[in-house]
Amino acid sequence: AARGAGGAGPERGSRGGAAMDLFGDLRRMNKRQLYYQVLNFAMIVSSALMIWKGLIVVTGSESPIVVVLSGSMEPAFHRGDLLFLTNFHDDPIRAGEIVVFKVEGRDIPIVHRVIKVHEKGNGNIKFLTKGDNNEVDDRGLYKEGQNWLEKKDVVGRARGFLPYVGMVTIIMNDYPKFKYALLAVMGAYVLLKRES
């Protein structure tokens, strides 16, 4: 009965008032409702993980979706573009193809174009990459003493993209507080959402 128009005093607009409302809502839920909401949240998380693992199996790539983090591939791809990858080992790597590769000593995969391919008679392939917007090839990015990439270095090959959809990921990486606030809001929403 205290949640009408008269309850909107100055303390309601403060951060402390919002936190008290959240804890008040949690206290009013009975245990069964709380367990149901926690289970609902766990189902959402496990469903997302199952979809991700399914994409890994279908695409053959350990990372089937990646976000472009730099402008080195402009104008083909811009910062924040979401790339869809496949990595079928039977597909040959050809010059002009855009690959995502990971090299020793670097945690973040790199999205660049293959500019040269050396194919040996025994089927071994070595290739060189370069960002479309870069002046020089990627030999400076490879591990020390490495002049060429091999198929084992490839995480995936770009098959499609959605422009700028990955900007949310970039913002969350650049501003960690925003990421934690967004996760807290989403978690609170799932826990407090009641069936209508």
Catalytic positions, written as ranges: 72, 112, 138
| 176 upstream amide cis, omega within 30 of 0 | no
DSSP E strand stretches across the chain: 65-67, 82-86, 98-101, 110-119, 125-130, 149-150, 154-162
Q: What share of the chain is helix, strand, coil (3-state, %, to 5)?
A: 40, 20, 40
For 84, list phi and psi in degrees, rounded to 5.
-105, 130
Give the integer Cα–Cα distance in Å for 90 and 146: 24
Q: Encoding tokens for residue 7?
A: 């309850």
Radius of gyration of the chain (CA): 24
Which single residue is written with the structure tokens 């693992």?
A: 53
